[in-house]
Amino acid sequence: MTDSQIVQGILDNDDRVWRHIYRQHRSHFVATIKAKVFAPMLVEQDWEDIFHDSCIVLMDKVKGGNFKVEREGGLFSFLVEIGKGLTMNLMRKKRYHDEKQQDAIAH
């Protein structure tokens, strides 16, 4: 499926697009982010959540007219950028939670 077909499928609410994205891009998505962001505290469920949430953001951007296909492969790059941001946010939350637990234990 091309990026243009994926975008059109998202606009048409075609579930086949999401199955395609999951099958074709999920493992590469996770591997790409792991290579760019050091996140040893994240577990497999965190990666599943990040991928899922990234797809929701992508859908919102496409349906809101905030993503246009400019070059083939750009959609995956856009999805990865969304995922990197979500990964950083999750890591900040986990660090904050861990620090709060350590403070509670120390006092």
pLDDT of 106? 60
pLDDT of residue 86: 96
Q: Indicate if the pLDDT at residue 71 is higher than 90.
A: no
Q: CA 67, CA 57: separation in Å to the nearest integer?
A: 11
Predicted pLDDT at 72: 86
The whole-chain average pLDDT of the chain stands at 89
Residue 39, pLDDT > 90, answer no
Spatial distance between the Cα atoms of 3 and 100, rounded to a whole number of angstroms:
43
Task: Please choose, from the candidates 73, 72, 67, the residue with its C-alpha nearest in 3D space to the C-alpha of residue 10.
Answer: 67
d(CA 30, CA 50): 9
Contact of 31 with 100, CB cutoff 8 Å: no
pTM score, two decimals? 0.84
